């Protein structure tokens, strides 16, 4: 049995331990073979030397993050504990200020936080078309919008075009109040929310009024050629084969495109196949087109979202096994 003392003098202990020691409990859960005690601004670890060394590495990462950012949510705390590869670690403890994608209002920094989000950034730098596929909450849309805003601010492109299929997800579009724009806007709200985090309100209003930033339903893309633009097709699992092909063939000179989607949340009628599935299959080996797959380890929403995704995945696998075992 070995003991080790870790000092938290350089950070706020409350931020480290969490409300009602919620983060400390996550640390104990990660290392069940260790005895972990908090004493003021210190943590005492007791147990096998290799376990203590592993825990110290994670604690050091958390301290570095808090020294740089001042605050660490339980969700990020848990992700740092769970990430064992170098890429995941680097996603949280960035030494290079160039890794920041966008400086938002009030000095907020927007950067890729997980290993696969960082792969998205690299893929966009090296390719003109990127497919980013994964479950809800993995930061696909948010990272894509940040990359588009970065490209606009750096004058790599002249405009941003954000689009989504206006597909009903259990609710009827026709019964929504207002004119066509007012009916469509709720479907596009997540794109507005991401932009609000990255561009001051007055400047965003100017960009929207001059069509430097355009947000529109996918159907509005038909017949256009999009040059010098950063184009994002969000929720692409709700576009059929013809719509995906139509979108991809809109891309013009000096343009980049990101296509995001969650294959597990298809809202198309049962007689229509998701074009995202087809596109990721037949465009897999074309130079200049990259494919990034995100998973529950990339979830950056509430920490329970990761558990919810896993639960649904287990249930889906169980249903598939029952179907396969039927006579």
Mean per-residue pLDDT, 218-234: 92
Of the pLDDT bands very low, low, confident and very high (cuts 50, 70, 90), residue 299 is confident
For the domain made up of 97-317, the CATH class stated in words is alpha beta
Q: Does the pLDDT of residue 250 top 70, yes or no?
A: yes
Mean per-residue pLDDT, 115-135: 93
pLDDT of residue 114: 81
Measured CA distances, 63 to 94, 164, 308 (Å): 13, 40, 29
Rounded CA-CA distance 141/39 in Å is: 42
What SS3 state is found at 23? helix
Maximum mean pLDDT: which of 79-83, 125-129, 172-176, 309-313:
125-129
Rounded CA-CA distance 53/33 in Å is: 13
Mean per-residue pLDDT, 286-313: 80
2-82, CATH topology level: Ribosomal Protein S8; Chain: A, domain 1 (3.30.1370)
More confident residue, 93 or 51: 51
Strands 129-133, 109-111: pairing is unpaired
The mean of the pLDDT values for the chain is 83
Is 0.85 surpassed by the pTM of this model?
A: no
Mean per-residue pLDDT, 204-217: 91
259 bridge partner residues: 131, 233
Rounded CA-CA distance 209/91 in Å is: 35
pLDDT of residue 14: 86
DSSP 271: T
H helix runs in 114-233, sequence order: 115-126, 140-153, 180-198, 201-209
Of the pLDDT bands very low, low, confident and very high (cuts 50, 70, 90), residue 152 is very high
Q: Does the pLDDT of residue 258 top 70, yes or no?
A: yes
Residue range 156-186, pLDDT digits in tens = 999 999 998 876 444 444 544 555 556 566 6
Note whether 110 and 197 are within 8 A (CB).
yes
pLDDT of residue 85: 47
Mean per-residue pLDDT, 217-233: 91
Mean per-residue pLDDT, 246-254: 93
Quickly count: other Cβ atoms within 10 Å of residue 17's Cβ. 17
Residue range 35-88, pLDDT digits in tens = 999 888 889 999 998 999 989 988 988 888 777 667 777 877 887 887 654 445
Rounded CA-CA distance 97/204 in Å is: 25
Maximum mean pLDDT: which of 36-50, 159-173, 243-257, 286-300:
243-257
Rounded CA-CA distance 174/196 in Å is: 28
Domain assignments of the chain as residue spans, ordered by start: 2-82, 97-317
Q: Which of 17-26, 88-97, 254-263 has the lowest mean pLDDT?
A: 88-97
H helix runs in 31-105, sequence order: 49-69, 74-82, 86-92
Q: Which of 88-92, 129-133, 189-193, 278-282 has the lowest mean pLDDT?
A: 88-92
């Amino acid at each position: 049995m070995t003991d080790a003392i870790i000092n938290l003098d350089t950070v706020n202990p409350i931020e480290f331990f969490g409300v009602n020691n919620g983060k400390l409990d996550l640390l104990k859960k990660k290392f069940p073979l260790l005895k972990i005690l908090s004493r003021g601004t210190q943590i005492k670890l007791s147990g096998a030397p290799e376990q203590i060394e592993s825990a110290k590495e994670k604690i050091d990462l958390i301290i570095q993050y808090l020294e740089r950012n001042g605050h660490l949510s339980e969700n990020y705390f848990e992700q740092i504990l769970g990430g064992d590869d170098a890429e995941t670690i680097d996603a949280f403890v960035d030494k290079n200020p160039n890794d920041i994608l966008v400086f938002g209002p009030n000095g907020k920094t927007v950067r890729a936080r997980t290993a696969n989000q960082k792969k998205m950034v690299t893929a966009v730098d090296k390719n003109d078309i990127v497919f980013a596929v994964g479950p809800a909450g993995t930061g696909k849309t948010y990272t894509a919008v940040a990359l588009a805003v970065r490209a606009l601010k750096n004058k790599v492109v002249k405009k941003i075009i954000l689009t989504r299929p206006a597909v009903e997800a259990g609710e009827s579009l026709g019964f929504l109040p207002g004119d066509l724009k007012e009916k469509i806007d709720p479907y596009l709200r997540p794109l507005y929310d991401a932009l609000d985090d990255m561009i001051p309100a007055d400047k965003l209003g100017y960009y929207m009024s001059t069509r430097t930033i355009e947000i529109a339903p996918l159907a509005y893309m038909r017949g256009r050629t999009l040059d010098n633009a950063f184009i994002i097709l969000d929720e692409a699992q709700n576009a059929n084969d013809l719509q995906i092909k139509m979108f991809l063939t809109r891309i013009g000179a000096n343009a980049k495109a990101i296509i995001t989607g969650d294959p597990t949340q298809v809202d198309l009628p049962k007689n229509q196949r998701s074009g995202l599935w087809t596109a990721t299959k037949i465009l897999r080996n074309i130079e200049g087109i990259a494919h990034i797959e995100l998973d529950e380890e990339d979830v950056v929403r509430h920490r329970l979202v990761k558990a919810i995704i896993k639960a649904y995945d287990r249930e889906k696998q169980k249903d598939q096994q029952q179907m396969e075992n039927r006579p």
